[in-house]
């Protein structure tokens, strides 16, 4: 195709315009497919109650029997346990390494993650093993009527 | 028979196809013959997966209240249900074994060299898809082991820079592994992955069909060929029959697997997201090396969190593996490239050692095994294997390049015998490799190892 000449140039710019419009149309239709799919794939936000959580009777009985208990609140799992001084404590139950559920080892006053042998102290600080960060602490209080409440939205101030 | 053929031939012109099949040949290259069959056996096991998977689907119901129960129902109530499940599990493992051997054999034969780069790349992607099949299928019974293994396995997604958290949530269908994850994995396992796999297998076979199989290194045309039809095909079919016998024997005699960690599918307890993890949670055997690597990394390294660094390392290694056709310059010129053979050996030693270690071999069956005893016992095994491979390559194939496999062995020996930490031993090995390459470059004379070790 020859490259010079006024009419041709005009034709070319018209062609360029059409190309741009086609390209935009193509991108627009792709986006209108991709965007809903991406939104569809992304899970809905956490549902269910957050805030102070009262333990059920069964949970409380289990806690007394086994000295530890894992409860769910929204999307967090919380480990509630009784330390050596009969004090109740609560820590995030998700290991900060790869997310396994940790457990309380009463004999050794230790929080232990069985997946890669991560160890934490009772305040959630890493003692050994691969976890990179401490476990978050929650406060756990005994109400006047004897029931237990775990405060899930407010983390205990770091001492 | 011939009437039917004529009828079809008139309409669809089959004669050229038959002519083509009559003339198709497979190169005959001495020892390398055996390896040409491994792609076929992988295909056989994949076909068994499709058939047994379809049968499982008749009873399997994903869901928090049904997944575990339906598998229990299949194995205890449905006539031969235990057999179908056992076949599906055994065939999954055998398919991956066959695939790994197939991949390494094409690697050592340098069958990835031009013009077959895309056969290598499609094969590599198929390997990843097979791992995806195994990973997604593992969760489907919704038992305790699967639940925790999937929690840990998906968690490494968060290491992806930028979109890690988004990816993790999309994969899990939430912040944690839940029934949502089960639905997503189910959709992947029975619809998305099979469709993609079938498409890619088609491409892989088409490439191989167009180009023929790679002749041995240094011989541009095969001197002799074996007719594909019927000679090669009949041999293939015979081998498939043997595979079927092997599969059936294993599935009947060990319906819950051989009982090694990562190679068992005892249903066990139903998953309970609120139970603590227990020791011995391991992924399937082909993920064990990554699992062990995650364990070897400290909490923080080079300004990254340990798992992030470990996953980065694994990605870089897999990237190198995928790009081998472009990296191996000597094989591109059809010259022997013993350095890349050495890379393959180093990869086997690296992955093999971590896998053995994850198996706690030498740990005396303790609940929390003695890590030093395990490191020593597994190092002894790996170093013996390394020495045997060295002897074979040095004396049978006259290879001269052992830098990479040597460095891998050094790391294992330092760690296992002298109790140097795995990472520090690795740093020593990397320094050794760097020094070795610097020496090869600066040394007078040919900067690359002389042309030795042409396969006989
Ligand atoms: C079209 C193909 C496939 C279909 C329809 C299918 C279907 C299924 C179903 C319904 C299950 C749940 C039953 C059970 O857990 O025993 C399952 C599990 C599983 N699948 Fe597949 N599958 C297919 C291909 C594959 C492939 C190619 C692999 C391997 C690489 C594989 C590996 C597994 C594994 C490891 C399990 C877990 C077995 C267990 O622990 O019970 N599947 N599959
Ligand atoms: S997940 Fe807890 S130590 Fe790895």
Taking the CA of residue A90 and the nearest CA in chain B, the distance in Å comes to 15
**Contact A112 CB / ligand 2 (< 6 Å):** no
Beta carbon of B62 within 6 Å of any ligand 1 atom = no
Evaluate: CB of B262 within 6 angstroms of ligand 1. no
Annotate A61-115 with DSSP letters as a single string. HHHHHHSEEEEEETTEEEEEEE-TTS-EEEEE-B-TTT-PBPEEEGGGTEEEETT
Of B351, B148, B352, B145, the residue nearest B257 (C-alpha)? B145
Highest mean pLDDT among A59-68, B264-273, B345-354: B345-354
DSSP labels, B84-114: HHHHHHHHHHHHHHHHHHHHHHHHHTTTTST
Any domain includes A10: yes
Count of domains forming chain A = 2
Residue A59 lies in a domain: yes
A75 and A21 both lie in a single domain: no
The larger pLDDT score, comparing residue B50 to residue A3, is at B50
Cβ within 8 Å of B, A 62-91: 70-72, 75, 77, 79
- For residue B365, what pLDDT is reported? 65
Domain that holds residue A9: 3-41
Strand order in the sheet with A118-120: A103-105, A110-113, A118-120, A126-128
Q: Under a CB-based contact definition with an 8 Å cutoff, are residues B120 and B324 in contact?
A: yes
| The pLDDT of residue B433 is above 60 | yes
For residue B349, what pLDDT is reported?
A: 96
The answer as to whether A101 is a domain residue is: yes
Residue to mutate among A42, A91, A114, with most B CBs inside 10 A, is A114
**Cβ–Cβ of A75/B307 closer than 8 Å?**
no
CA pair distance B68, A40, nearest whole angstrom: 27
pLDDT digits over B38-63, tens only?
Answer: 899 999 999 999 999 999 999 999 99
Q: Specify the higher pLDDT residue, B273 or B50.
A: B50
The domain limits of chain B are 11-218+225-272, 337-440
User: Nearest CB to B152: which of A99, A129, A132?
Assistant: A99
Distance CA A35, CA B373 (A): 53
Same domain? A63 vs A13: no
Give the pLDDT band of residue A32 (cuts 50, 70, 90): very high
List, as ranges, residues 6-35 from A with C-beta within 8 Å of B.
none
Question: Which residues of chain A neighbour B294 with C-beta distances below 8 Å?
Answer: 98, 116, 130
Q: Which residues of A touch B303 (CB under 8 A)?
A: none
User: Same domain, yes or no, for A117 and A142?
Assistant: yes
In whole numbers, what is the pLDDT of chain B averaged over residues?
88
Percent of chain B residues topping a pLDDT of 90: 56
Contact B374, B360 (CB under 8 A): yes
Same-domain pairing of A33 and A107 = no
| Pair (A101, A135) in one structural domain | yes
- Among the listed residues B435, B371, B31, the one whose alpha carbon sits nearest the alpha carbon of residue A116: B371
- Residue A47 covered by a domain: no
> pLDDT tens digits for B379-416?
999 999 999 999 999 988 888 889 999 999 999 999 99
Nearest residue of chain B to residue A37 (CA atoms)? B170
A55 chain-B contacts, CB cut-off 8 A: none
For residue A98 and ligand 2, the question of a CB distance below 6 A is answered with yes
Q: Do A116 and B307 touch (CB under 8 A)?
A: no
**Residue A83 and residue A141 in one domain:** yes
Mutate to test the interface with A, among B277, B290, B367, B370 (most CBs of A within 10 A): B277
Q: What pLDDT shows up at residue B32?
A: 54
pLDDT at B387: 94
How far is A132 from chain B, CA to nearest CA, in Å?
Answer: 4
Q: Is the pLDDT of residue B360 over 50?
A: yes
Do A35 and A75 sit in the same domain of this protein? no
Record: contact B277-A100, CB cut-off 8 A: yes
Q: Identify the H or E element spanning A54.
A: strand A52-54
CA of A141 to the centre of ligand 2 (A): 28
Q: Are residues A26 and A68 in the same domain?
A: no
Q: How far apart are the CA of B87 and the nearest CA of chain A, in angstroms?
A: 29
Please give the helix or strand (H or E) that residue B291 lies within, else none.
helix B288-296
A145 inside domain = yes
The residue-averaged pLDDT of B239-255 equals: 95
ipTM attached to this prediction: 0.78
Domain of A109, CATH number, reads 2.102.10.10
Tell which one of A102, A131, A135 to mutate to probe ligand 2, the residue whose CB is within 8 A of the most ligand atoms.
A131
Match domain B11-218+225-272 to its CATH number in 3.40.50.261, 1.20.810.10, 3.60.20.10, 3.90.930.12.
1.20.810.10
Q: Give yes or no: residues A17 and A65 share one domain.
A: no
Mark whether A86 and A131 lie in a shared domain: yes
Q: Supply the pLDDT for residue A154.
A: 54
Q: Between chains, do B155 and A99 touch, taking CB under 8 Å as contact? A: yes
Tell me the per-residue pLDDT of B175-211, one tens digit each, with 9 for 90 and over: 888 899 999 999 999 999 999 999 999 999 999 888 8
CA proximity to B122, closest of B193, B206, B245:
B206
C-beta of residue B345 within 8 angstroms of C-beta of residue B404: yes
- B81 within 8 A of B72, measured Cβ to Cβ: no
Ligand 1 contact via B407 beta carbon (within 6 Å)? no
- pLDDT, tens only, B3-36: 999 999 999 988 888 888 888 877 765 545 667 7
pTM: 0.87
Q: Which ligand is nearest to the CA of A99?
A: 2
> Is residue B178 less than 8 Å (CB to CB) from chain A?
no
Q: What is the pLDDT of residue A7?
A: 63
Look at B306 and A43 and tell me if their CB atoms are within 8 Å. no
| DSSP H or E segment with residue A141 | strand A137-142
Q: Which residues neighbour B304 within 8 Å (Cβ) at sequence distance 6 or greater?
A: B312
* Residue contact B274–A77, C-beta within 8 A: yes
To test the contact with chain B by mutation, choose from A115, A120, A134 the residue with the greatest count of B C-beta atoms within 10 A, namely A115
B64 touches chain A (CB under 8 A): no
Nearest CB to B300; choose among A42, A77, A132? A132
> Is pLDDT above 50 for B456?
no
The rounded distance, in Å, linking the Cα atoms of B299 and A131 is 5
| Ligand 1 centre distance from Cα of residue A145 (Å) | 52
Q: Who wins on pLDDT, B269 or A4?
A: B269
- Ligand 1 centre to CA of B141 (Å) is 10
B78-117 pLDDT, tens per residue? Answer: 999 999 999 999 999 999 999 999 999 999 988 898 889 9
The answer to whether residues A33 and A74 belong to one domain is: no
Q: Which residue has the higher pLDDT, A125 or A4?
A: A125
Q: Are residues A109 and A138 in the same domain?
A: yes
Residue A136 lies in a domain: yes
């Amino acid at each position: 195709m020859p490259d010079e000449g006024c009419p041709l140039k005009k034709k070319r710019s018209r062609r360029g315009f059409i190309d741009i419009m086609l390209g935009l149309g193509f991108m627009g239709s792709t986006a209108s497919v991709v965007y809903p799919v991406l939104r569809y794939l992304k899970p809905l936000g956490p549902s269910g109650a957050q805030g102070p959580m009262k333990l059920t009777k069964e949970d409380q009985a289990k806690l007394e029997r086994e000295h530890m208990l894992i409860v769910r609140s929204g999307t967090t799992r919380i480990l509630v346990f009784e330390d050596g001084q009969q004090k109740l404590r609560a820590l995030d139950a998700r290991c900060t390494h790869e997310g396994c559920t940790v457990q309380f080892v009463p004999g050794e006053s230790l929080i232990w993650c069985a997946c890669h042998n991560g160890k934490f102290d009772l305040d959630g600080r890493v003692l050994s093993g691969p976890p990179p960060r401490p476990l978050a602490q929650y406060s756990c209080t005994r109400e006047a009527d004897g029931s237990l409440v775990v405060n899930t939205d407010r983390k205990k101030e770091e001492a | 028979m011939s009437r039917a053929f004529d009828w079809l031939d008139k309409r669809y012109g089959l004669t050229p196809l038959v002519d083509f099949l009559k003339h198709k040949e497979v190169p005959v290259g001495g020892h390398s013959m055996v390896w040409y069959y491994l792609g076929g056996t992988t295909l056989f096991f994949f076909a068994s997966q499709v058939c047994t998977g379809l049968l499982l689907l008749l009873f399997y119901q994903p869901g928090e209240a049904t997944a575990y129960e339906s598998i229990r129902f299949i194995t205890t109530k449905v006539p031969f249900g235990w057999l179908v499940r056992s076949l599906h599990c055994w065939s999954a493992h055998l398919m991956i074994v066959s695939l790994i051997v197939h991949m390494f054999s094409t690697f050592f034969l340098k069958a990835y060299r031009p013009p077959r780069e895309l056969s290598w790349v499609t094969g590599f992607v198929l390997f990843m898809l097979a791992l995806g099949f195994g990973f997604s299928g593992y969760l489907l019974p919704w038992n305790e082991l699967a639940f925790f293994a999937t929690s840990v396995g998906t968690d490494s997604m968060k290491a992806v820079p930028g979109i890690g958290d988004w990816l993790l949530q999309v994969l899990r269908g939430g912040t944690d592994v839940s029934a949502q994850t089960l639905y997503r994995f189910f959709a992947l396992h029975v619809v998305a992955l099979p469709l993609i796999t079938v498409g890619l297998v088609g491409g892989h076979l088409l490439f191989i069909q167009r180009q023929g199989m790679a002749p041995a290194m240094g011989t541009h045309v095969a001197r002799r060929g074996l007719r594909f039809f019927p000679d090669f095909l009949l041999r293939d079919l015979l081998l498939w029959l043997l595979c079927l016998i092997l599969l059936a024997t294993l599935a009947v005699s060990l319906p819950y697997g051989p009982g090694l960690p990562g190679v068992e599918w005892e249903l066990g307890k139903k998953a309970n997201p609120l139970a603590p993890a227990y020791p011995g949670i391991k992924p399937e055997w082909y993920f064990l090396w990554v699992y062990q690597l995650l364990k070897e990394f400290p909490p923080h390294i080079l300004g990254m969190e340990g798992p992030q660094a470990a996953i980065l390392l694994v990605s870089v290694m897999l990237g190198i593996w995928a790009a081998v056709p472009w990296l191996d310059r000597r094989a591109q010129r059809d010259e022997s490239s013993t350095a890349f053979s050495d890379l393959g050996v180093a990869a086997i030693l690296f992955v093999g050692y971590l896998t053995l270690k994850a198996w706690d071999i030498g740990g005396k069956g303790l609940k929390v095994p003695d890590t030093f005893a395990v490191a020593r016992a597994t190092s002894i095994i790996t170093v013996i294997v390394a020495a045997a491979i060295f002897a074979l390559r040095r004396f049978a194939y006259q290879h001269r390049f052992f830098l990479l496999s040597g460095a891998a062995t050094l790391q294992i020996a330092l760690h296992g015998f002298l109790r140097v930490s795995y990472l520090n031993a690795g740093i020593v090995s990397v320094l050794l490799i760097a020094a070795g390459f610097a020496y090869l470059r600066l040394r007078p004379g040919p900067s690359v190892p002389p042309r030795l070790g042409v396969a006989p």
